[in-house]
């Protein structure tokens, strides 16, 4: 039978603190998102504003400028329905992100990994990320696009000042 050796308070504190240091810190992992690649028209200021928001929220962003015609071809190739298009298209972790999608919805998409092609905010709703102040936002929806091209509301954003 093994003899039990009592630990002093000091030894216990050292043991406990060393296990805390060795434990992973989940908060540090929050900013480790896959690279998001944004394809945009070079003259578009709102695309640049959206990219800045992504960067400020911890995303690594690469960009590619394309003419309107080549950008439209890309949207068609990756399966974005015509009624879901916006000014820029991004790709992240096997999904597309079309338009001014909030970073919280992108994070949810890549965390939950639904069976879908991607997310879209059609047109350019005022107050969506990169499109003006959020406190003056008009109501808009973020849609999730399934592999058959059907769109369903993924997240609804009410008009600013409206409480649910």
On whether residue 58 sits in a domain, the answer given is: yes
What confidence tens digit (pLDDT) does each residue in 69-112 have?
A: 999 999 999 999 999 999 999 999 999 999 999 999 999 999 99
- 147 phi/psi in degrees, rounded to 5: -65, -20
What confidence tens digit (pLDDT) does each residue in 102-121 have?
A: 999 999 999 999 999 999 99
Helix axes 45-56, 103-112, angle to 10 degrees: 60
**Looking at the predicted structure, is the pLDDT value of residue 11 above 60?**
no
Indicate which CATH number applies to the domain containing 123.
3.40.30
Q: Would the pTM of this model clear 0.85, i.e. be above it?
A: no
On whether residue 153 sits in a domain, the answer given is: yes
On whether residue 5 sits in a domain, the answer given is: no
Return the minimum-mean-pLDDT range out of 19-33, 97-111, 113-127, 139-153: 19-33
On whether residue 16 sits in a domain, the answer given is: no
Cβ contacts of residue 49 below 8 Å, gap of 6+? 129, 130, 131
Question: Quick one: pLDDT band at residue 45, thresholds 50, 70, 90?
Answer: confident
- Please name the residue that has the structure tokens 């992240």: 92
On whether residue 15 sits in a domain, the answer given is: no
Identify the three-state secondary structure at position 63: strand
Name the β-bridge partners of 150.
Answer: none
Q: Which domain holds residue 61?
A: 33-157
On whether residue 18 sits in a domain, the answer given is: no
Name the β-bridge partners of 159.
Answer: none
């Amino acid at each position: 039978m093994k003899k039990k050796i009592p630990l002093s308070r000091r030894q216990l504190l050292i043991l406990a603190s060393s296990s805390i240091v060795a434990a992973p810190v989940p908060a540090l992992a929050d900013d480790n998102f896959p690279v998001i690649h944004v394809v945009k028209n070079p003259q578009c200021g709102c695309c640049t504003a959206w990219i800045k928001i992504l960067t400020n929220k911890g995303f690594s962003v690469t960009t590619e400028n394309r003419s309107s015609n080549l950008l439209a071809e890309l949207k068609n190739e990756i399966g974005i329905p015509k009624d879901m298009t916006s000014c820029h298209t991004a790709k992240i972790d096997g999904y597309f992100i079309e338009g001014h999608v909030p970073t919280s919805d992108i994070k949810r998409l890549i965390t939950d990994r639904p069976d879908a092609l991607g997310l879209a905010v059609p047109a350019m709703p005022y107050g969506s990320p990169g499109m003006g102040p959020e406190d003056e936002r008009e109501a808009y929806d973020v849609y999730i696009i399934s592999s058959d091209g059907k769109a369903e509301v993924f997240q609804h954003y009410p008009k600013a000042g409206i409480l649910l």
